[in-house]
Amino acid sequence: MQNIIDFVLEIDKLKQVTRKTKVLNSDRYENSAEHSWQIALLASSLAPYAVAPVDMSRVVAMLLLHDIGEIETGDTIVYAEGGWEERKAQELACVTRIFGLLPAEQGQRFLALWNEFEAGDTAEARFAHAADRAMPVLLNLANNGQSWRENGIRHQQVLDRIGPPIRQGCPALWDYLEGRLAAAKVQGWLG
């Protein structure tokens, strides 16, 4: 029991990792724990739109686990260029340590799900990636492009970085977003 309590208290640190997107109708930036919770619910809601049948319990678990490495690395905006290999190596070291707090079998299961998400080779991982990439876009569309404007993000950057994983994991979601991104460009929210 103590191992599980130690794990849960350690991951509480994810609430302190600030992201670049603000919570709707607030001046406060969201944290990575809130992001993980919200994308798990987004994916669950989008289940009927998955390209292939997916095990939603695996998708939700991946989404709840995928950002735990940010406890030590912090959050990096998805549009950042360069440094991803080093960052992912640091995240892997972090999640290995944190999942190592759990009883061995459970820790290994969580690490396998984290690695599956990172590899993106399964239908579940691709669907999880679609939800992960879409949520900041949805918040930006609802916040008049807040983090795009604050960080000088260009329309083509958004299309290049989030288009392929959303299109691959949930084409219906990409169909929904593509036109809205074009409208956001016209609004001046994207460079």
Q: What pLDDT, in 10s, does the model give residues 93-151?
A: 999 999 999 999 999 999 999 999 999 999 999 999 999 999 999 999 999 999 999 99
Strands 29-31 and 18-22, bridge-based pairing: antiparallel
Domain boundaries, the chain: 1-187
pLDDT value for 82: 81
- Residue-level pLDDT at 143: 96
Question: So what's the pLDDT on residue 76?
Answer: 86
Residue 79 is predicted with a pLDDT of 84
Q: How high is the pLDDT of residue 191?
A: 78
For the domain covering 1-187, report its CATH number: 1.10.3210.10
Q: What is the pLDDT of residue 81?
A: 80
- pLDDT computed for residue 46 by the predictor: 98
What pLDDT, in 10s, does the model give residues 81-93? 888 889 999 999 9
The whole-number average pLDDT for the span 15-32 is 96
Give the global pTM: 0.95
The pLDDT, as a whole number, for residue 77 is: 83
Largest CA distance in the chain: 55
Q: What is the pLDDT of residues 146-187, one digit of tens each?
A: 999 999 999 999 999 999 999 999 999 999 999 999 999 999
DSSP string, the chain: -HHHHHHHHHHGGGGG-EEEEEPTTSSSEEEHHHHHHHHHHHHHHHGGG-SS---HHHHHHHHHHTTTTHHHH----TT--S-HHHHHHHHHHHHHHHHTTS-HHHHHHHHHHHHHHHHT-SHHHHHHHHHHHHHHHHHHHHTTTHHHHHHT--HHHHHHHHHHHHHHH-HHHHHHHHHHHHHHHHHTS--
Tens digits of residue pLDDT in 139-150: 999 999 999 999
